[in-house]
Structures are given as C-alpha cells and as structure tokens.
Amino acid sequence: MNLEQLKIISAGAGSGKTYRLTEEMVALLKAGQVRPSGIIATTFTRKAAAELQERVRVKLLSEGLTRQAEELTNALIGTVHGLGVKLLRRFAFEAGVSPQVDILPDGDQQQMFNQALAATLALERIEQMDDLSDRLGLTKKNGFFDWRQEVRSLVDVARANDFSLADLHRSRQKSWETFTAFLPPATTTTEAAANTHLETALSDTIYALESGEDQTKVTATAADKLKSLRRELKLRGRLYWHQWASIGKLGVGAKSREVVEPLQTYAWTHQSLPAFREDIQTFIDAIFELAIAALQEYDEYKKRRGLIDYTDMEVLVSRLLDQAPVREVLRDELDLLMVDEFQDTNPIQLEIFLKLAQLAQHAVWVGDPKQSIYGFRGAEPRLMDAIITAAGGIRKENIQVRSWRSRADLVDMVNALFCRAFPHLPPEQVALEPVRLPGGNGHLPAEPLAMEDAIIHWHFDAEGERKQPPAQPWMEECLARSLREWLESQVLVQPKGSKGFRPAIAGDVAILCRSNHVCQTVAEALHRAGLKAAIARAGLLATAEARLVLACLRYILHAEDSLSVAEIKVLASRQPLHDLVADRLAYLEEHADTPYYQRPGWAGGDTYIQCLDKLRPELAEASSAETLHQVLEELDLRRCMVQWGNSEQRLSNIDELRKLALEYEANCNNTHTAASLGGFLLWLSTLAAAEKDFQGAGEDPEAVNVLTYHRSKGLEWPVVICHNLEQPLRADLWGLELVPEQATVDLNHVLKGRWLRYWVNPYADQQGSTPLLEQMAASPQQEEKKQQALAEEARLLYVGLTRARDYLILPTRQSKSTKWLDRVYNQGQETIPTLDANTHETPWDWQDRYLNKTTRSFLYPRQFPVATTTHAPIPFLPKAAGETVHEPFVMPATELAREVATDVQAAASLTYCHLPADPGMELAALTVLQTQYLRAAHYLAEAADKTQLAQAMSTRWNCPDTFDPQLLVTQAAAWEAWLGQQFPGGQQHHAWPVYLPRAGQQFAHTIDLVVQTPTHTAFVQQNPFVGDDTKRRTLETGHQLLAAGLAWQAAGQGTVASYWVHFVGRGEVVALRLGK
C-alpha cells in the first residue's frame, strides 16, 4: 500500500494537538489545495469535532477567508460513526441499504442480541452450559456465571474484525488445539473410576490425619476440609476441578506431609482424565457454536426489520469503498482526509481510513501511540506501528515538541519516566519541552513562591503496631481526609487560560482509579470526609428522587396503583410510615364490602394525588418525556426534593431521568416501534437490571472529580491524584485474544491473517501453583501477553500522569509498594521501589537534573469518624400561587349584547340590487371587490369617475374578461339609493371605531357604516357571506353591532335606533329586531 501522501503527526499529551490540526487545515484551504466541501475530518467525540470546526472557522475569518469559512459547513467533520452514516446514505444504492438507514443504539443492540441468542438456546444447551460452569469453577466466586456474556464478547470481537463463519470455526478448532499443548497425555480412566479411587484416598488420608501425632491447627483444618470434600463427593457423585486442585495444594503440618502426599499426587492426575479435557473442550466449542448461531440469528433479526448497528455500518462502509464507482466519485471529490486520535481506532475503522487515504489528495493523521489505551475496544497498537513504518516514520517537523499544559517538573518527570518505559520509541517522540517555566516566559508570569512542588507524595501509616494496613476503604479514607486538609491550606493553582493564581477548590481536583468499583469507594470516602464527589455511577432508579418521579408516572398510568400512592405520600407529602399504614388499613376496612373496581381512590385528599388526577386526562396523548416534564412542573417536585439534602446531586439525577426519556423516544424512532409511558417504565427497569441507569455526575465547582484512568483521556485538571498505583499486573491468558498468524501486518488486508483464541480457566481461584499454570507461564504466549500487558499499563499510566496541570499527587501506604509505577519505570520489575516516603528525592532525572517531590507522611487511625457535609442552598423562585381565574381582557360581544336586548331576531331580508353571478370569478373574491368599491365610490360625485374606478379596480383584482365592471357601478348606485330612501338626508360615516373599557376589560370594534339623521342613528355591518343561511349569519354579526351600540351610548353619542347587516355579495340587507 502506498502511503507516501500520508502525513502522520505525533502529538503528545498537552502539546497542542487541536491547534496543529487547525493550522494544517487552514494552511491547505488558504493555499487553495483543498476545497471545504472536499474535507473529511474524523474525531473521537462530537465535542472534539465541534471544537475543531469552530477553531478552523475562526482562524479562516481572522485570515480574511470569509468564503471558505462560510463553506466549511459543507465539510464532513464528525465522528467515525457520523461519517459512516453519511456515506451510507449517500451511496445507499451501492451499499444495498435504505437511504433513510437508521443505526441501532447500543442499548437496543444489546436487547436485540439477547433476543437472538435466546432464540438459539434450547433447554438442554442451557443446562449443559450451567453444569459446565459449575464443573469448571466459573460460578465459585459469585455463585453465578453469565456465560451468555462470554458469547456476546466473542460475537463483538468477531464482528468488529469482520470474521467470517469459517474464521470462527477455524478459531474454535485452534483454540482447543493450542490449549492441549499445556495438558499431559490423556489416560483411559473413566470419571467414575477416578471418583471411586479419590473417595478411597480421601477416607484413608482423613483416618491417617486423625489418628496421627500431628495436632497442629493447620493439619486439623486440612482434615476438616477433606471431610467436607468427601461429603460433597458422596452427595454429588463428583468434585469440581478446582476442588481437585485444592487437594493437590493442601497444606498440613510438617509431620503429616508424607501422609497426604499419595492423595496429593493422585489429585494432580486429574489433568490426564478424559473427563477433564472433555469439559474444557466442550465449553470452548459451545461458546463458539453459540456465538455462530447467535450471530446468524441476529443478522436475520436485523434484516427482517431493516435495521443495522454500528458494526454493520463500519463493515458496509469498508466494503463500499472497494467498489470502483464509489472510489472514482470519492477520488474526484475528496481533497483532504484528516484523522484525529488515530491510535484509538479499531481494525475495521483503520481499514476504512487506509482506503480513504488512497483516494484523498492529502491525508493528515494526528495521534499519539503512547495514549492507545482502548485495547478492550479493539484498538491495536501493532497496526498503528505498521502504518507509521509504511509511511516512512514520523518526520521531525511533524512532532509536537512543546507541552502547553503542565508545569516544568511534571513535564520533566513524564519525560524521565516514559523515555525508559517506551524504549521502542525515539526520545523525540516521547519527551516534550515545558512552556510553563518556574520563572515565567514572555507570555506567562513566574510561579509565586507559595506554590508547592509540582510532584507530591502522600504516605499513609496506620496507628498501632500491626505492620499490615487496614483493608479497603482505609486507603480511600486517608486520601479523602488528606485532600480536605490540603485544600484548606489554600494551595495555589493557575486556572487554564489565566495568567493569575488562586486557591484551589474541590472542583480543581481529579482522583483517577483503575475501576468503577474503586471510584465508588473513593466517592463514599469523600462524602464521609465532608467533601462532595462528581461521579457517574449506576443506581439512578434506586434514589429517592427517581422513586418519587416514577411513582407519579405509574399513578398516571394506573390510578389503582396503591404502592405508588404510598410512595408519593411518604416521599412527597412526608407522611409518617405508621400513619400511612393506619390510613391504608382504615381505607380497606371501610370499603371491604365494595367491589375493587367501584372503590373510590385512596388518598383522594392528598394534594399531590389530586394534582395527578387532574393531569391524567390532559396527558392521555402526551409522550413519556412530555408527561415527565409536566409532572415535574405541575407538582413542583424539584422544590420538594432539595429539602432532603444533597440537592445538586438530586437535581442532576432528575436531569438524567429527563435525558433517558428523550433517549427512549429516540430509540423507539430508530427501531420503528411505538413509544408509550408504560414502555418507558419497562425500558427503565431493563436499564436498572443491567446496572446502566447511571446517576448524574453531580458536577459542581465544589465537587471532587472521581473517574477511571480510561475516562480521563482528553481531560485535564489543576490537581490530579493517581490512585491504585499498587495495582498488580493482569496478564493471564484466559478469555479472548486476537492472535496474528504472521509477524508483519499486511496493510492491504488489515483484517486478514488473524484468528480468535478462547481459553477457559478450569480452576477458578485455585489456578495458582498448578501444573497447568506453570506450563502456561513458561510458554511464548504468556511472555507475549505479559509484554502486551506491560505496554498497555504503561500507556494508561502515561495518560493518568499527563492529566495534571499544576500538581500531581502520588499516594502510598505502609507495607505496600507502588507496583504499577515501579513496573513502568523499571521495565517490568516490581522489586525496585520508585517512591521513598523518607525522602524528598525521586529517582527521576532529566537533562542532568534530579527531580524533587514534596513528601508528607500521615498517621491515621484504623477507623475514621464521619465528617459533616455542608450544602449551599439552591436558589428558587417564589412558589407558584397556583391556578388563578382571570377574566378575559377582551369582553365577549355576546355578554354586552344582552345588556341591549335579550331577544334578538333577524327580520326578512331586503334586496336592493339583484346581481348576476359570474362563473369565471370566485364569490369570495368578488364580495371583497364589491365591498371595497362601495366604500370608495361613496366619495365620488361624477358618474364617469365611478366608472373609471370600477374599471381600475377590476384590473387590479385580475377579474376575468367576462366580468363587467359596470355591475359595480350599478350596485353602488342601488346601494346609495336604498340608503337615501331608508335614511333621508342621512350623513354617512365609514369605518367608525368604538371602544368600551370596563373593570380591567375592554371591547373594541369598527363599525363599517354609521348613518345619522337628526332623529335617527343606524349601524350597518357588512358581511361577506354569500350562502343561503343569512338568518344565522345575521344573528352572529348582530351581537357585535349591539355591543358596539352599547359602547356608542357609553361614549355619549346617543342611542342607536336600528341595526342592519349588509350582505354585499347578495345585494341584501337584513334588520335586527330587538326585544327585552
């Protein structure tokens, strides 16, 4: 593969990666080498994509390139998945998908896969897998082992690497063949015969131990254990394989070792039993067979529903780029391919980028192999190294050399540590030059003398004479209390983008942990120390605020849900539990003889229940998100919840619940299913069961950030505490592993030449010191796995240490070394300590200068008291006064008309002019023309002028040629004649406005025509109606006229003598008859 046009930029942590991306793109746009519409740029997150696009646009505008800045919206800048969707929709015909293709979200993907897997499982297969899980010790730890998750993991890896069914069958065969290399030759001994022999040996050994002279405690404990195993053997008819291993490692006193030796020797012969080998092979084969069956069923399931998931999308795009017509189109259109964080892409995404790079005029990939920490998602540093090699390496000018993030000592520490940890990388690709110097530079001020050393070592000792420190969470408790004390000392930090310094607050601190479980433990310790923690953790639906909201939603759905009523009364109305129980019993006793469906609602007098009863009919057609929002607002639940304390977290949880409602509706749209309130509640229950109902992070300036090392990537804080530095190396061979079949990578076929290995541990926690593990430990597979694990944890530690801007805190405790840090610095050796609690010196030197640290030792008790936590009040607007009845600002004409006359009738219509219909003109348009002409013609005296006006208006109205303008003149003359006859000597006033204010209300109306004689005032209102039901129309218009007459009289104009409705289009006038 030719990658000569590929420019690879190495951007270490904090070296200005986004700035470099911006400069590269702007330079190419400015030079006219690329078009905005010819850019494809992918980032790891949507936030990063939006930031890149905005920075490029601002830079272009500052350079005066306004046209390119405006056209930048035509560029494809987004995540890999966003790019894939756009390409599929554009080339839908070539890809064989719908142009409106929808991508399954991860949550629905999991649910659909579970359904597909369930469809392939027979009862016999389930029983077999459960039995094998027991025999192989997989259920020993928790009493349950989810082998379905193993199947799902295998399917995910297979699909992410585009494995065919033939590849999976080959992988199944090779997995067992390679595993047998660690087993001794099989014997012909049956399991029944082996169990019989074992039972005899157990009995003999137990008798010898009990009758011997060895009275030590360890021997007595061993005898009791053997008795328990013999009892299990008799009851079950067999022992699990980890129990065989435990017999082989049985510990006894020195006097009894010869007694148990025959039993132990025989116990280790289980590895040669055909039953042992059969269990392992059957389990491995079953995992692959189930994965293949589930994969086929899942594909059929999606095809029947016209759905694809993200992995399908990636595979389809990769295959789409192999089609010649598509390649020709993209070759003409694609000017620049820019890939951000390329080290985090999985193999199939990498293959897509390689294919696009062959089509682009320019290709720029930016990343850092040292930060490739997503191996569990499929990222393979081996592939990245192959691409860098194929591109001719990374040129010096393409290496970001400055660190803009961290203080000088932190940069030098990382340089010293990781130039040793990454020996395969040239030093110039690892080391950075600090921009933030202690004495300042031309852009940044000098650090104040009050600032501590950037590297801080906290060491914790426990009171008492015991050498071993207390178990978890003692370390976390020490960390939390030390942090609180340290923050109270007003240590100075320099906020990002600021040239000044200020005291650090809790929100400036991030504590990094290796697992979510430890994060939770740290968060709880912070809470007990009086500090708040910002952490996203599961258990949203178990919180009091979520329970209250869900109780309201369930009551909206089912008014008979008494449990929801009880939760509302306890949580919202704050009714004591004993009063609630008494109230419920009294209700049941009162209505004991009434059928259930005829009973009145319980707690009908409760304010919250009454409000929900009122909302139920209003929300019958509302969506789940609308219902949730309405319940929160109408019941003012937020105000109720903040009274319980920890208000920021509770409000954050409510926001998460609202997000879930919107996510549920979006998922229903994607899967073409109906969304409902009941479905939303069931969907939430599914999330809770899978522990995916994450609470709000509770992010707050006064909350310490607690997250895993993996989640910290791409973020930074003034203060970072690296926890779990004692972490042991995890390099076992169990589970899934992608195995390359050749040493070099074929970049023309990235996904070829590999198979998927799956090995199962048959010994549970008894695997140590077994012949099987000893054989594995001496294997090349174990050495390769160890090197991979060391490299992985070195990259992860690099990410953690480079998150700090001002201070990096490394905590340790007595009798425990920082094994993780030691391995990284000492090329895998754990025996050489890196941190010494008795000195301020460090072993790290950079450019002939040894780095110092601030070392502080703390002596803490083994038990900690709980500190009080203060919460700032949440500002709320005054509580709503509730519904208030307000009179309408505009008074209804019907009410005013009743003051003039209670009985209004229409007299017989009077025709003053018969108008022939014109078939070429709509009646409504003709009526408007007639009305306007009658008003205008009144002010013309000469007949010629009236005729000219009729002709001009007919032209402006686009009247057809068949229309005779003289009809307008004739009608106007007839109308004036009728008015003169009806009101002799009357004076006409057109468009007379009237206004009547009354007690904060008003009535306003414009009377079309007021005719006044010395003794008579008449109101005439024109009506465009041209139908036959003039009587009803007359009464409707009459109310307006009567109300106008009342306003006329209130203004001192006198009394209106008559009211008329003029139907212009019909040439008719109807009078109103008034009666009291």
- Dist. CA 966–CA 947, nearest whole Å: 7
Within 10 Å of residue 496's Cβ, how many Cβ atoms? 11
Q: Is residue 137 part of a domain?
A: yes
964 has a pLDDT exceeding 90: no
Take residue 136 and report the two structure tokens written for it.
């192989």
Judge if 709 and 815 occupy the same domain.
Answer: yes
- Rounded distance between C-alpha atoms, residue 300 and residue 293, angstroms: 11
- Would 880 be classed as within a structural domain? no
Please report the pLDDT score of residue 277 as a whole number. Answer: 94
577 has pLDDT over 90: no
The DSSP output letter for 1018 is: E
Say which CATH number the domain at 1050 has.
Answer: 3.90.320
Other C-beta atoms lying within 10 Å of the C-beta of residue 645: 10
Query: 357 and 318 in one domain?
Result: yes
Q: What is the CATH number of the domain that holds 633?
A: 1.10.486.10
Does 280 share its domain with 367? no
pLDDT of residue 872: 64
Instruction: Write the DSSP string, 200-231.
Output: HHHHHHHHHHHHSS---HHHHHHHHHHHHHHH
Q: What is the pLDDT of residues 53-108, one digit of tens each?
A: 899 999 889 988 889 889 888 889 988 888 888 999 899 899 888 887 778 777 67
Alpha-carbon gap, residue 132 to 125, rounded angstroms: 10
Does residue 967 sit in the same domain as residue 1052? Answer: yes
DSSP SS3 for 890: strand
Stretch (H or E) spanning 90: helix 80-90
Half-sphere exposure of 1003 (CA within 13 A, CB side): 23
Q: Where are the alpha helices (DSSP H) in 702-841?
A: 771-777, 780-801, 819-825
- SS3 string, 177-193, reads HHHHHHCCCCCCCCHHH
Q: Are 11 and 20 spatial neighbours (Cβ–Cβ below 8 Å)?
A: yes
Instruction: Please report the pLDDT score of residue 877 as a whole number.
Output: 67
Same domain, 283 and 265: no
Distance CA 926, CA 923 (A): 5
Contact 1063, 921 (CB under 8 A): no
**Residue 466 vs residue 928, higher pLDDT:** 928
93 with 119, same domain: the answer is no
165-179 helix and 274-305 helix, angle to the nearest 10 degrees: 160
pLDDT over threshold 90, residue 342: no
Which of 78-82, 119-123, 179-183 is modeled with the greatest confidence?
179-183
Same domain membership, residue 708 and residue 836: yes
| Residue 1061: predicted pLDDT | 92
Tally of CA atoms within 13 A in the half-sphere of 434 that contains its CB? 22
d(CA 8, CA 389): 11
Residue 571 exposed, middle or buried by CB count within 10 Å (0-12, 13-18, 19+): buried
CA distance from start to end of the chain: 100
- Both 159 and 226 in one domain: the answer is no
- Domain total for the chain? 6
User: Tell me: the pLDDT tens digits for 982-1007?
Assistant: 999 889 998 899 999 988 889 999 99
SS3 at position 113: helix
Helix (H) or strand (E) holding 736, with range, is strand 735-740
Distance CA 732, CA 767 (A): 10
Please determine, for residue 19, whether its predicted confidence score (pLDDT) is greater than 60.
yes
Cβ atoms < 10 Å from Cβ of 214: 19
Pair (72, 12) in one structural domain: yes
CA distance 840 to 835: 9
d(CA 822, CA 942): 111
Mean pLDDT for 287-298 is 93
**Which domain, by its residues, includes 118?**
106-184+276-305
Q: Encoding tokens for residue 982?
A: 């009806």
Mean pLDDT of 300-323: 87
Could you tell me how many residues make up the chain? 1076
* Better pLDDT: 1017 or 902: 1017
Cα dist. 889→320, 883, 1045 in Å? 64, 17, 20
Share of the chain above pLDDT 70, in %: 98
Torsion sign (Cα): 374, 380, 382, 384 = negative
CA distance linking residue 939 with residue 927, whole number of Å: 20
Instruction: Check pLDDT > 80 for residue 1026.
Output: no
Residue 427 lies in a domain: no
Mean pLDDT of 946-961: 90
Higher pLDDT residue, 774 or 1035?
A: 774
CB within 8 Å of 354: residues ≥ 6 apart: 1, 3, 387, 747, 750
Residue 526: CATH number of its domain = 3.40.50.300
Say whether the peptide bond before residue 473 is cis (omega within 30 degrees of 0): yes
* pLDDT (tens digit per residue) in 488-523: 999 999 998 888 999 999 999 999 999 988 999 999
